[in-house]
Structure 1
Amino acid sequence: MIEREILIHPSISGTLAIPEGEGTCPAVLLLAGSGPIDRDGNDRKGKYQTNLYKELAHFMTGLGFVTLRYDKRGTGKRDGDWMAAGLSNLADDAKTAMLFLCEHPNVDPEKVIVCGHSEGTILATILAETMNPAGCMFLSGGVDNLMEALHHQRQLAYKELLAQPGLKGWINRILKVDVKNEKQYVKLLEKMKQSDRDTIKIQLFFKQPAKWFREHDAYDTRCALKNVTCPVFALHGDKDPLLESHVLEELDGLVRGKSEYHIIHNMEHGLRVQTEPRSILSVKKNFKDILKRTLHEEGLEKIEAWLIAHFKTDHSLEE
């Protein structure tokens, strides 16, 4: 494998990984999840070093695919304010990276796949609808838009808070934390939707990504999926509390191309092994231990099988 740091655009730094050998290869564009995480999947302060996208890139390049991953605005080697970027800005960056990959001399432009993780699955949906890639992959996401996913997360959090044992649960039920918190969320969302600014402040100090929320709220993923003609692959883990996997049952009735999905036992949002119970209140508590574990073997096997079946010719496999 040959790995190079490249400039996709004067303002966008990325990493291109190319399999050894001559000729062109199929390629995968990796689209990151939400928050200030860089091309490798790591946060700016070094607190959460997942290296998820770096590991996925190396795995896919090992299968014979060129891979491209890049820094989001305000992360890694890229300037800008990540919180001021809306969905439209993130989509523009993804489209720029897609065009770069399609035009690269080591890439077969007829075999470029978009692969999104978490929020990146929404960007992958946008590219699948508008740029006609060879394939589309949803890892820990898909079908729901961001607002629907956040709704699921809040409802699960309320359920766990109200079910807590002892005094904590009793206080939460007496104070009706679910009703109180939901009212606060609705009020905040409405404030962001009424604003025309990229960011707003609440309680004078706390910055919120208003443009990001507004544009996600307006984007209809299901409507977009009805225009997708390429093969679609989706992968969830049954220990992921940030998703409702039953929505993947809708895929076949939405997309016009072939689709398949898999729900992996004991896999969490970051595609690693998790044996602990599924709990949204325990995500941060379990995070450090989970980061020490490998990517889920069965999840990688499903990814490999789909990529090879759809995009590797007999000749390329022999090489």
Structure 2
Amino acid sequence: MIEKEILIHPLISGTLALPDDKDTYPAVLLLAGSGPIDRDGNDRKGKYQTNLYKELAHFMTGLGFVTLRYDKHGTGKRNGNWMEAGLSDLATDAKTAMLFLREHPNVDPEKVIVCGHSEGTILATILAETMNPSGCMFLSGGVDNLMEALHHQRQFAYKELFAKPGLKGWINRTLKIDVRNEKQYAKLLEKMKRSDRDTIKIQLFFRQPAKWFREHDAYDTRRALKNVTCPVFAMHGDKDPLLESHVLQELDRLVQGKSQYYIISNMEHGLRVQTEPRSILSMKKMFKDILNRPLHEEGLKTIETWLIDHIKTDPSQKG
């Protein structure tokens, strides 16, 4: 495998991984999830070092694919403020990266797949609708837009808070914390939708990515999926508390091309092994321990099988 530091655009740094530089190969564009994480899946402060996208890139390149991953606004080697970037900015970056891959001399332009993780699945949806890739992959996401996913997460959190034993659960139920919190959330969202700023402050000090919220709120993933003609692959983990996997059942009637989805047992949002119960309230507590675990073997095998079947990569190219 050969890895190269590249400039996709004068402002966008990335990493291109190739099986070698002597032939042309199918390619996968990796689209990262939300927050201030770089091309590898790590934050600048060193608190969240997942290396998820680096590991996925190496795995896919080992199967015979060129892979490209890049830094978002204000992450890695890229300047800017990640909080000021809206969905439109993220989509422009993704489209620029897609064009770069298609024009690269070691890439077969007819065999470029977009692969999004978490928020990246929404970017993958945008590219699948507008740029006709040869395939589209949703890892830990898909079908729902961001606002719907956040709604699911809040409802799951309320359910856990209400189920707490003893006095804590009783207080949560009596105070109807779900009703109170939903009113506060609706008020904040309305404030962001009325604003024309990239960010706004709440309670004088706390910045919120208003443009990001506005544009995600306006984006209809299901409408977009109806225009997707390429094969679509989706994979969730059954221990992922950030998703409602039943929405993947809609894929077959939404997309025009062939779709397949998989729910992997004992896999969490970051595609690693989790045997502990599914819990949104315990995610942070478990996070450091889970990062020491490998990517889920069955999850990787499922990805490999789909890539080989749909792009017809010769398995002998594995390195």
Could you say which TM-score interval applies, normalised by the shorter chain? Answer: over 0.9
Residue 8 of structure 1 is matched in structure 2 by 8
| Total equivalences in the alignment | 319
Residue 69 of structure 1 is matched in structure 2 by 69
Question: How many angstroms apart in 1 are the aligned matches of 2:104 and 2:286?
Answer: 40
SS at match of 1:304: helix
Q: Give the CA deviation at 1:22.
A: 2.3
Question: Within 5 Å, which residues of 2 pair with 1:73-84?
Answer: 73-84=73-84
Residue 40 of structure 1 is matched in structure 2 by 40
Question: How many angstroms apart in 2 are the aligned matches of 1:318 and 1:50?
Answer: 24
**One-letter identity of the residue aligned with 1:268:** E
CA 1:313/1:285 → structure 2, altered by over 3 Å: closer, same or farther? closer
Root-mean-square deviation over aligned CA pairs:
1.2
- The answer to whether the 8 Å contact 2:63/2:315 transfers is no
SS at match of 2:281: helix
**One-letter identity of the residue aligned with 1:212:** W
Deviant stretches of 4+, over 4 Å:
313-319
CA 1:275/1:316 → structure 2, altered by over 3 Å: closer, same or farther? closer
Q: Deviations over 1:99-142 (max 9, x none)?
A: 00000000000000000000000000000000000000000000
1:145 paired with 2:142, answer: no
Residue 50 of structure 1 is matched in structure 2 by 50
TM-score (norm 2): 0.98
- The answer to whether the 8 Å contact 1:26/1:312 transfers is no
Percent identical: 86
Question: How many angstroms apart in 2 are the aligned matches of 1:221 and 1:308?
Answer: 27
SS at match of 1:30: strand
- The answer to whether the 8 Å contact 1:192/1:211 transfers is yes
- The answer to whether the 8 Å contact 1:17/1:61 transfers is yes
Q: Give the CA deviation at 1:176.
A: 1.4
1:96 paired with 2:121, answer: no
- The answer to whether the 8 Å contact 1:236/1:263 transfers is yes
Q: Give the CA deviation at 1:172.
A: 1.2
Question: Within 5 Å, which residues of 2 pair with 1:158-197?
Answer: 158-197=158-197
SS at match of 1:280: coil
CA 1:61/1:173 → structure 2, altered by over 3 Å: closer, same or farther? same
1:288 paired with 2:274, answer: no
Question: How many angstroms apart in 1 are the aligned matches of 2:197 and 2:94?
Answer: 23
Question: Within 5 Å, which residues of 2 pair with 1:158-237?
Answer: 158-237=158-237
Q: Give the CA deviation at 1:20.
A: 2.7
Q: Give the CA deviation at 1:177.
A: 1.0
Question: How many angstroms apart in 1 are the aligned matches of 2:35 and 2:314?
Answer: 40
- The answer to whether the 8 Å contact 1:121/1:141 transfers is yes
Q: Which ranges in structure 2 are unaligned for 5 or more consecutive residues?
A: none
Q: Deviations over 1:232-289 (max 9, x none)?
A: 0000000000000000000010000011000000000000000000010001011011
Question: How many angstroms apart in 2 are the aligned matches of 1:208 and 1:314?
Answer: 47
Task: Please identify, of 306-315 and 106-115, the stretch whose mean Cα deviation from structure 2 is larger.
Answer: 306-315
Residue 251 of structure 1 is matched in structure 2 by 251
Q: Give the CA deviation at 1:90.
A: 0.2
TM-score (norm 1): 0.98
Q: Give the CA deviation at 1:315.
A: 9.1
